[in-house]
Structures are given as structure tokens and as C-alpha cells.
């Protein structure tokens, strides 16, 4: 993946926090920002999935179809693949 440089304007307080956090973690500030963005994207995905499951669970036929498929996939556990 190619890197593209971007300049961001942030408050001094935020900049100091990023430097402090990156120093504590033994990484560059750039790598820290990359990690924080990745973590936030993952968190947002998990929240979205949870909302989707909550919405699907309100529809009993959709929820049962999902659970039936889940049982099929669960039966493949331990099949050596």
C-alpha cells in the first residue's frame, strides 16, 4: 500500500497528547494516528454489526433464518479445514 502524506491542523493540546501517547507506546506519532484510525474503523464496524443484529432480531423469520444458517456453519467446527 502506498503512503500518501497529508497535513492536518490540530490543536496544540491534541498534538501534545498524540506525542505523549506515541512516546508511551514507543511508536511514531504517524504510526499512532494510523493505529487509532484503524481501531476506530473497527469499533464503528462492530457497532454497525451490533445494530444490524439488533434490527434483524426484531424480525422473527429473519432471525430464525440467520440462526439456522449459523447452526449449519457451527457444525463445520472441527472438520479439519
Classify residue 6: in a domain, yes or no: no
Classify residue 17: in a domain, yes or no: yes
Question: What angle is formed at CA 25 by the lines to CA 19 and CA 29, rounded to 5 degrees?
Answer: 35
How far apart, in whole angstroms, are the C-alpha atoms of residue 60 and residue 67?
Answer: 10
Supply the range of the domain harboring residue 45: 13-74
Which of 24-28, 54-58, 76-80 has the lowest average pLDDT? 76-80
How far apart, in whole angstroms, are the C-alpha atoms of residue 79 and residue 77?
Answer: 6
Classify residue 80: in a domain, yes or no: no
Number of domain units in the chain: 1
pLDDT, tens digit (0-9, with 9 covering 90-100), for 30-73: 999 999 999 999 999 999 999 999 999 999 999 999 999 999 99
Classify residue 47: in a domain, yes or no: yes
pTM comes to 0.73
Confidence tier at 24 by pLDDT (50, 70, 90)? very high
79, containing H or E segment: none
Amino acid at each position: 500500500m502506498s503512503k500518501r502524506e497529508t497535513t492536518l491542523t490540530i490543536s496544540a493540546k491534541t498534538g501534545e497528547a498524540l506525542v505523549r501517547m506515541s512516546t508511551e507506546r514507543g511508536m511514531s506519532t504517524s504510526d499512532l494516528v494510523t493505529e487509532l484510525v484503524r481501531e476506530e474503523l473497527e469499533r464503528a464496524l462492530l457497532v454497525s454489526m451490533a445494530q444490524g443484529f439488533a434490527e434483524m432480531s426484531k424480525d422473527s423469520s429473519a432471525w430464525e433464518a440467520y440462526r439456522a444458517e449459523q447452526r449449519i456453519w457451527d457444525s463445520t467446527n472441527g472438520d479439519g479445514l
